[in-house]
Amino acid sequence: MTANEKYEVITYEENIVFNFTLPEDGKENQLSKEVTLVWDDVLEKFLETFTQEKSYTIHLFKHEKEKNRFIENIENVTEEIIDQIDEEISQKMKFGFDYTSPTYED
């Protein structure tokens, strides 16, 4: 990488959905939350994958270490959101539940 090149990270927003069934009524419920995800490929592949218009942000960093820290922060926030939703679902349950992990397009 030359001195003028930058490290690029593409991020986009995605709505993740948590499906669960409350034991008392047996009905399937959903909780959804919007999170920021990191695209691990080049912009051209992003545009090919998401044929519909999906907004994205390109972040540029001078150093790989900064880029990696940025990605780690996004992943940590996403994990925290998932943990919060898991806790919220657990609070709704009394005697266990039928739960599927979050689903989202990647």
Residue 58 inside a domain? The answer is yes
Domain tally, the chain = 1
Residue 34 inside a domain? The answer is yes
**pLDDT tens, per residue, the chain with 106 residues:** 455 679 999 999 999 999 988 777 778 889 999 999 999 999 999 999 987 788 999 999 999 999 999 999 999 999 999 999 988 888 877 555 455 556 655 4
Residue 50 inside a domain? The answer is yes
Closest CA to 81 of 12, 28, 31: 31
CA distance linking residue 80 with residue 82, whole number of Å: 5
Residue 2 inside a domain? The answer is no
pLDDT of residue 94: 57
DSSP-derived letter for residue 44 is H
Domain range enclosing 68: 7-103
Residue 1 inside a domain? The answer is no
Residue 99 inside a domain? The answer is yes
Residue 67 inside a domain? The answer is yes
Closest CA to 81 of 38, 49, 40, 35: 35
Residue 19 inside a domain? The answer is yes
